[in-house]
Amino acid sequence: MKKSFQNIAYLLLILLSGLGPAVVRAQVFQGKIPGLRPYDQSGINYFEAKKDTAAYDGFRFRVGAGFTQEFQSLKDKNNFSEVSTNPLYKLSPGFNQAEANLYTDFLLADGIHLNVTLYLSTRHHNETWVKGGYLQFDKLPFKGEFWDNIMKYTTIKLGQFEINYGDAHFRRTDGGHALFNPFIENNIIDAFATEIGGEVTVQNKGVFGMVGLTNGMLDASIDSVAYTTANGAIHKNPAIYFKAGVDKQVNDLVRLRLSGSFYHLASSSSSDLYWGDRAGSSYWMVMEKPYTVPASGESAYQGDAWSGRVNPGFTYKVDAGMLNGFAKIGGFELFGTYEHAEGRSKTEKSNRHFNQYSVDGVYRFGPKENFFVGAKYNSVTALLNGINNSITVNRVAGSAGWFLTKNILLKGEYVTQKYLDFPTSDYRNSGKFYGYVIAATVGF
């Protein structure tokens, strides 16, 4: 089925391009294209793109996909009764909407790759739409020792892409693709954005550094400056971010990684660093208010697509830093995150901040590490817009999974999340949700 689907896609590409097989020497390359992350089990614990040093033997492309179907049995409650002014959305056990991603990757020339990713169906968007696309250069089409020496260690990415801020985004669930996440959901504050710009990464013997420059927004914009009473004229400024670290395979059993990232955006009319996920949360409708369908007809699942997360609301400016540590010793994995960020919305005059901690431990076992069990603790303390005191949200989750093949994963999670220090008038006061989610996911 997989090969047939890829061959059909290849034929469509040839037809659409107007080029026949005699003109284009193309191959469907099973498994992976050098320098790009695999979408199956072999892509787990894969961070920055590896250098493509393979000999070039012609144009190649692959078609990949991610499909996920979940069954959810979560309950929630707050400090109010059913007849109060702060009831919660009524939940019952059931299947969530199936989600799907489509990936197309191309080897255009020696060391030059193209990726285009589509969301076929997600919680926030039922219709197909493009996540992004980018060119990745591991080699440049310039002759000479000077260029060869530069590109021996350098990778350049240009386009609209998932920015490389922090390491947590490498382990997150992204719409229909959930193979890389040993748990069901992402962090409570989910740093994830697709922005237009470029990144330059240098790697040598496990030491790496990266600098990125983007437009600082999810969408393209040629609008003039906006004006607000709080901040005057809001100019569009680029976002600049850095990352550095070390990733060492110490021996056959031990791998250690440590990285630090920083993201700066001086001002923007719509920063999306913490609101850039247009797929949505994997915890459906927990700790949400009853939903009123707007004139547009947008459903509750779409309108409240980020259930269980906290949005700090840094839409005007943001300075954020993230530290990540990863260790793999045999089948044991430990991954940790510390994040601190400051910023504000365009209607605020002063910055707010938050701190986030997350640590998870996973034990993979079996002949091909095709079974795993894991536990995760995630905590956020934040000053939110409109709340005078700091609030705290804590999550504890336990998970287990089974890779039936390298492309098929069945996993389940039991989770408890608590909302602390919210005002007595807030619907999240003494809030809590708990229960289990089971997911069947495919990636290739």
Say if 143 falls within a structural domain: yes
Domain-embedded: residue 1: no
Confidence at residue 126, expressed as pLDDT on a 0 to 100 scale: 82
276's CB contacts (< 8 A; 6+ apart) are 192, 193, 194, 195, 218
Q: Is residue 15 part of a domain?
A: no
Instruction: Compare 309 and 85 and report the one with higher pLDDT.
Output: 309
Distance CA 367, CA 360 (A): 23
Confidence at residue 30, expressed as pLDDT on a 0 to 100 scale: 47
71 close to 95: Cβ distance less than 8 angstroms: yes
Closest by CA position to 119, among listed 107, 133, 134, 106 = 133
| Residue 19 pLDDT greater than 70, yes or no | no
| 326: exposed, middle or buried (Cβ count in 10 Å: 0-12, 13-18, 19+) | buried
225-234, 326-335, 399-408, range with the lowest pLDDT: 225-234
Query: Could you tell me which residues are beta bridge partners of residue 405?
Result: 408
Contact 255, 232 (CB under 8 A): no
Looking at the domain assignment, is residue 90 inside a domain? yes
* Per-residue pLDDT, 436: 98
Nearest to 72 by CA among 356, 324, 419, 413: 413
Question: Is residue 11 a part of any domain in this protein?
Answer: no
List C-alpha distances in Å: 411 to 213, 282, 334, 353: 37, 13, 19, 34
Q: What is the pLDDT of residues 348-389, one digit of tens each?
A: 999 999 999 999 999 999 999 999 999 999 999 999 999 999
List, for residues 248-269, the tens digit of each pLDDT value.
Answer: 999 999 999 999 999 999 999 8
Structure tokens at 128: 């197909």
Q: What is the pLDDT of residues 204-216, one digit of tens each?
A: 999 999 999 999 9
Is 117 domain-assigned? yes
Supply the CATH number for residue 59's domain. 2.40.160.10
Q: What is the mean pLDDT of residues 418-424?
A: 97
Compute φ and ψ for 423, nearest 5 degrees. -55, 150
Query: Does 14 fall in a domain?
Result: no
| Cα(6)–Cα(14) distance, integer angstroms | 12
Asked which of 58-62, 81-85, 187-191 is least confident by mean pLDDT, the reply is 81-85
* Cα separation, 93 vs 76, whole angstroms: 12
Task: Tell me whether residue 182 is in a domain.
Answer: yes
* Token pair of 396 as six digits: 């504890």
* Range from 25-29, 215-219, 411-415 that averages highest in pLDDT: 411-415
Sort 338 into a burial class: Cβ within 10 Å, 0-12 / 13-18 / 19+.
Answer: middle
369: Cβ contacts below 8 Å, ≥ 6 apart: 331, 403
Mean pLDDT of the chain: 90
Average pLDDT rounded to a whole number, residues 165-190: 98
Residue 376 · residue 397 · CB < 8 Å: yes
pLDDT at residue 25 greater than cutoff 50:
no
pLDDT digits (tens, 9 = 90+) for 97-109: 999 999 999 999 9
Task: Return the structure tokens found at 171.
Answer: 């382990």
Strands in 163-250 per DSSP E: 194-204, 207-214, 226-228, 232-234, 239-249
| 3-class SS of residue 172 | coil
pLDDT value of position 11:
39
Residue 187: give the domain boundaries.
31-443
Say how many domains are in the chain. 1
